[in-house]
Homo-oligomer: A and B are copies of this chain.
Amino acid sequence: MSKEITSREQDYSQWYNDLIIKGGLADYSAVRGCMVIKPYGYALWENMRDVLDKMFKETGHQNAYFPLFVPKSLFEAEEKNAEGFAKECAIVTHYRLKTDPENKGKLMVDPEAKLEEELIIRPTSEAIIWNTYKGWIQSYRDLPILVNQWANVVRWEMRTRLFLRTAEFLWQEGHTAHATSQEAVDETVQMLDVYADFAERYMAVPVIKGVKTANERFAGAVDTYCIEALMQDGKALQAGTSHFLGQNFAKAFDVKFSDKNNQLDYVWATSWGVSTRLIGALVMAHSDDDGLILPPKLAPIQVVIVPIFKGEEQKKQIDEKVNDLVRTLKAAGVSVKYDDNDNARPGWKFAEYEMKGVPVRIAIGARDIANNVVEVARRDTKEKMSMSIDGLGENIIQLLDTIQTAIYDKARSYREKHITKAENMDEFVQLLDDKGGFISAHWDGTPETEEKIKDLTKATIRCIPLNNPEEEGSCILSGKPSKQRVLFARAY
């Protein structure tokens, strides 16, 4: 089975697609640019969602749900936001089909059921939400509003890639309203920290926290904070964003509140989101040429147990031992699967679970039972070890922790080795082509220079890292003075 995967060296992009399809995470669909998230992929998303949801609630947020549709007149109210998304909007224009008189058994759009006002399928929900908040906010007592939504959104993309860029995707979008600018900025940074914490502790993906340049800012934001991760091909991936929206949306939708002194002011806003794109990041950060490598804290199956036996008698012995072990592991909250399906041979199962990235595989045969041991294999290092059945539960739980740490450390060490300084354009281009990763370089701070560098090299400024040290230097392109380095990379 593993032989069917294209290797990273051969074709990185095909390797990624093979993992997604053959690992059972997702499938192409009949709809251009839309994917089907298969049960195994969705279980991974559920685990991610549950952890994030808990983190949101612990920081005081509540979930709500707003309409899928945004009337065009609301959509265009915040001009920059509208402009930013106008080119990728799916638009509902009619609300009824009728039988096609010229084609038996076929339907056609009923021209008499044309909407007076077109409806945009939300590419993001600031417009519909701020229009709603207008009715919820009168005084400072109504603030803050700390609301999150789990939803599907649609951005019409011309070039799609499973999980990384699809026309429809699943995400969460937090939308908060505050009485002061400082409170909104604090919220923006807090949620960035939540995302970074989630990426590092659960996904085992190290990230750099930073601020976007004006060019890369969310349409309608005053500041966009982001977390940036590094993939194994040296390309960066934006894994989450948190926006300080200032009073832009409050002004567009006329949302004012009276403060403690009865003065009217516009409300301050943030929004922040992560999406099913994180699954793409997870897959590309850790996996190898034999398949997926999933972090134990998010893996739908953390431990798989494969019996090796001849005849019913041996099977029965093994079942007994395994049942105890399954009970112990489940009681400890471990997700364990006992695969005693006799339609497939152990070797086939080994390859299958390797492909699916199950962190720990336990094989158990009749002789193992006689010796009171099992064979334990780590997915990340491929290491095999013999472990005593006594105390196995505890040792497996410890092993899962070890693996979680090991894959984080590996990804982090790769990332550390791939942040390189460039002092001029020649070095910059050579590093991009030969080594990849983040390139730390001086930039004169102008959108024009950023644009030129992008045109020349396809590299963009991923972020200006938070707490970036000041350093005198000169821009690698224009030679103009610069006060700090920023991080460039080619990116997904």
Q: Mark A58-76, 1 if CB is under 8 A from B, else 0.
A: 0000111111111110111
A67 vs B38: C-alpha distance in the bound complex, in angstroms?
Answer: 12
User: What are the residues of chain B within 8 A of A87 when measuring CB–CB?
Assistant: 96-98
User: What are the residues of chain B within 8 A of A119 when measuring CB–CB?
Assistant: 31, 90
- With A67-B168, A147-B39 already in contact, the answer to whether A107 and B34 are too (CB < 8 A) is no
The answer to whether B79 touches A98 (Cβ under 8 A) is no
User: What are the residues of chain B within 8 A of A29 when measuring CB–CB?
Assistant: 66-67, 128, 132
Residue A43 is within 8 A (CB to CB) of chain B in the complex: yes
Residue A94 is within 8 A (CB to CB) of chain B in the complex: yes
The answer to whether B89 touches A105 (Cβ under 8 A) is no
How many residues in A have their beta carbons less than 8 Å from beta carbons of B?
67
- With A82-B107, A89-B96, A168-B68 already in contact, the answer to whether A132 and B46 are too (CB < 8 A) is no
The answer to whether A39 touches B27 (Cβ under 8 A) is no
CB distance from A62 to the nearest CB of B (A): 4
Cβ-neighbour of A76 out of B42, B62, B106, B156 (below 8 A)? B106
Cβ-neighbour of A30 out of B68, B131, B170 (below 8 A)? B131
The answer to whether A71 touches B31 (Cβ under 8 A) is yes
Q: Mark A70-108, 1 if CB is under 8 A from B, else 0.
A: 111011100100110011111111111111000001110
- With A92-B121, A105-B79 already in contact, the answer to whether A34 and B64 are too (CB < 8 A) is no
The answer to whether A69 touches B31 (Cβ under 8 A) is yes
The answer to whether B91 touches A156 (Cβ under 8 A) is no
A75 vs B108: C-alpha distance in the bound complex, in angstroms?
Answer: 11
A304 vs B170: C-alpha distance in the bound complex, in angstroms?
Answer: 35
The answer to whether B118 touches A109 (Cβ under 8 A) is yes
Q: Mark A337-360, 1 if CB is under 8 A from B, else 0.
A: 000000100000000000000000
Q: Mark A2-27, 1 if CB is under 8 A from B, else 0.
A: 00000000000000000000000001
Residue A37 is within 8 A (CB to CB) of chain B in the complex: yes
The answer to whether B91 touches A92 (Cβ under 8 A) is yes
The answer to whether B94 touches A93 (Cβ under 8 A) is yes
The answer to whether B42 touches A64 (Cβ under 8 A) is yes
CB distance from A100 to the nearest CB of B (A): 9
Q: Mark A108-123, 1 if CB is under 8 A from B, else 0.
A: 0100000000111100
User: What are the residues of chain B within 8 A of A120 when measuring CB–CB?
Assistant: 97
User: What are the residues of chain B within 8 A of A88 when measuring CB–CB?
Assistant: 95-96
Cβ-neighbour of A96 out of B42, B63, B82, B86 (below 8 A)? B86
User: What are the residues of chain B within 8 A of A69 when measuring CB–CB?
Assistant: 31, 34, 90, 168
Residue A449 is within 8 A (CB to CB) of chain B in the complex: no
A29 vs B129: C-alpha distance in the bound complex, in angstroms?
Answer: 9
- Other A-B pairs beyond A42-B64, A79-B105, A86-B107, 17, CB < 8 Å: A27-B135, A31-B70, A31-B119, A34-B67, A34-B68, A37-B64, A37-B66, A39-B62, A39-B64, A39-B147, A76-B106, A82-B97, A91-B94, A92-B92, A93-B109, A97-B120, A109-B118
Q: Which 6 A-B pairs have the closest CB atoms?
A: A39-B62, A34-B67, A37-B65, A86-B97, A95-B156, A91-B94
* A residues whose Cβ falls under 8 Å from a Cβ of B: 27, 29-31, 34-39, 41-43, 45-46, 62-72, 74-76, 79, 82-83, 86-99, 105-107, 109, 118-121, 128, 131-132, 135, 141, 147, 151-152, 154, 156, 168, 170, 343
13 A-B pairs with C-beta separation under 8 A: A30-B132, A31-B69, A36-B65, A38-B64, A43-B62, A68-B121, A68-B152, A68-B168, A86-B96, A86-B97, A86-B107, A93-B94, A109-B118
